[in-house]
């Protein structure tokens, strides 16, 4: 029987105040709050689009020679985006999803059940993974390392629960330089959209003020949960110190991130459903074209630290 704590999707003002000094509490409050709408907010799906996105991220940094891994663990699973889609792609047979937020673990288990995947789940802090040594042959995470106060400690835990020869893959981590331009582009887009939609002719494009205020409060909490950005070389060195001498970092998305962040911010600033499927496909195709440019041209001339996303992989040494 599960003893996991229950989700708390309605944080009080006092709890939000307390979270200002406690990044883990901020993570639980923010992600419990977001769990119900997270897939919509980030256009997460469990169909071909996200299956190939997840599989491509994995292949980019780690290849697919070990597929399928038998027993995979995900840290900071959110709604299950990375591991569930990797399992659908054939990367792993059995999965365990974990997250600090009870609401997210519930959402991930619900999604896994809907997809008919062999997955169990637990509420867990990545700094103290509640599984025995050598339990998994694969550990994955997407957009989680930058939320963890002690990243090196978490990587040591990852290597502890991996069996010798087992692999870890983390993707979707913001680089220092990428985060700098992405945040500024996002803030500019938010300001421009919420200002221009004050014009009477554009009222239909304006979200009610209460919703915009709620988004601003969520953004304030979001600023508390985003603890780190990474320099690729430093992240690589950290994983090596944690016990993976072969750790290596790849980066991606330069032109694509310059489009992606304004697009995502614009989508959040206008009423849900206003933009429709045509826009979603246009945005996705444009992102794909710019990603192609990043991979095939810009990666040869632009330093890796300038790309927005870092991905890291490594294995536990066989003694």
Work out whether 97 is an interface residue with ligand SAM (CB under 6 A). no
Tell me which residues in 169-188 interact with ligand SAM (CB under 6 A).
172
d(CA 226, CA 220): 10
The least distance separating ligand SAM from the CB of residue 146, rounded to whole angstroms, comes to 8
d(CA 64, CA 56): 10
Q: Is 76 left (phi over 0), alpha (psi -120 to 50) or beta?
A: left
The least distance separating ligand SAM from the CB of residue 75, rounded to whole angstroms, comes to 5
Tell me which residues in 26-65 interact with ligand SAM (CB under 6 A).
27, 31
Q: Which of 86, 88, 100, 81 is nearest to 42 (CA)?
A: 81
Beta strands 92-99 and 69-74: pairing type?
parallel
Judged by CB under 6 A, the residue of 87, 148, 182, 290 near ligand SAM is 148
Residues 59-78 as x/- pattern, contact with ligand SAM by CB under 6 A: ----------------xxxx
Using the minimum distance from each CB to ligand SAM, give the nearer residue, 73 or 143.
143
Peptide bond preceding 68: is omega within 30 degrees of 0, i.e. cis? yes
Work out whether 144 is an interface residue with ligand SAM (CB under 6 A). yes
- Contact at 8 Å (CB) between 84 and 117? yes
Q: What is the DSSP string of 113-135?
A: HHHT--EEEEE--TTS--S-TT-
Stretch that binds ligand SAM, among 23-31, 209-217, 248-256, 300-308 (CB under 6 A): 23-31
Stretch that binds ligand SAM, among 136-144, 156-164, 254-262, 282-290 (CB under 6 A): 136-144
The least distance separating ligand SAM from the CB of residue 39, rounded to whole angstroms, comes to 8
- Contact at 8 Å (CB) between 311 and 250? yes
Stretch that binds ligand SAM, among 45-53, 120-128, 213-221, 253-261 (CB under 6 A): 120-128
Q: Which of 89, 138, 141, 134 is nearest to 115 (CA)?
A: 89
Work out whether 101 is an interface residue with ligand SAM (CB under 6 A). yes
Stretch that binds ligand SAM, among 100-108, 110-118, 159-167, 237-245 (CB under 6 A): 100-108
Judged by CB under 6 A, the residue of 19, 125, 189, 224 near ligand SAM is 125
């Amino acid at each position: 029987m599960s003893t996991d704590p229950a989700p708390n999707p309605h944080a009080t003002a006092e709890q939000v105040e307390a979270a200002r000094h406690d990044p883990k509490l901020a993570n639980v409050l923010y992600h419990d709050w977001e769990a119900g709408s997270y897939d919509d907010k980030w256009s997460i799906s469990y169909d071909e689009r996200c299956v190939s996105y997840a599989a491509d991220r994995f292949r980019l940094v780690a290849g697919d020679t070990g597929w399928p891994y038998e027993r995979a663990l995900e840290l900071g699973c959110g709604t299950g985006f990375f591991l569930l889609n990797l399992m659908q792609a054939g990367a792993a047979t059995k999965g365990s999803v974990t997250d600090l937020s009870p609401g997210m673990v519930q959402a991930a288990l619900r999604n896994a059940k809907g997809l008919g995947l062999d997955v169990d789940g637990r509420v867990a802090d990545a700094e103290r993974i509640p599984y025995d040594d050598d339990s998994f042959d694969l550990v994955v995470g997407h957009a989680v390392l930058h939320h963890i106060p002690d990243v090196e400690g978490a990587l040591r835990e990852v290597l502890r629960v991996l069996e010798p020869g087992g692999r870890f893959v983390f993707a979707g981590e913001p680089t220092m330089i990428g985060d700098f331009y992405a945040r500024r582009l996002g803030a500019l887009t938010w300001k421009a959209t919420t200002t221009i939609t004050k014009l009477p002719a554009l009222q239909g494009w304006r979200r009610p003020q209460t919703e915009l205020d709620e988004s601003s409060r969520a953004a304030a909490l979001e600023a508390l949960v985003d603890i780190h950005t990474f320099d690729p070389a430093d992240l690589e060195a950290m994983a090596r110190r944690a016990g993976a001498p072969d750790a290596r970092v790849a980066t991606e998305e330069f032109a694509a991130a310059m489009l992606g962040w304004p697009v995502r911010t614009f989508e959040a600033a206008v009423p849900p459903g206003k933009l429709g499927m045509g826009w979603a496909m246009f945005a996705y195709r444009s992102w794909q074209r710019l990603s192609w440019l990043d991979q095939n041209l810009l990666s040869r001339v632009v330093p890796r630290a300038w790309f927005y996303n870092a991905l890291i992989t490594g294995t536990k040494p066989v003694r």
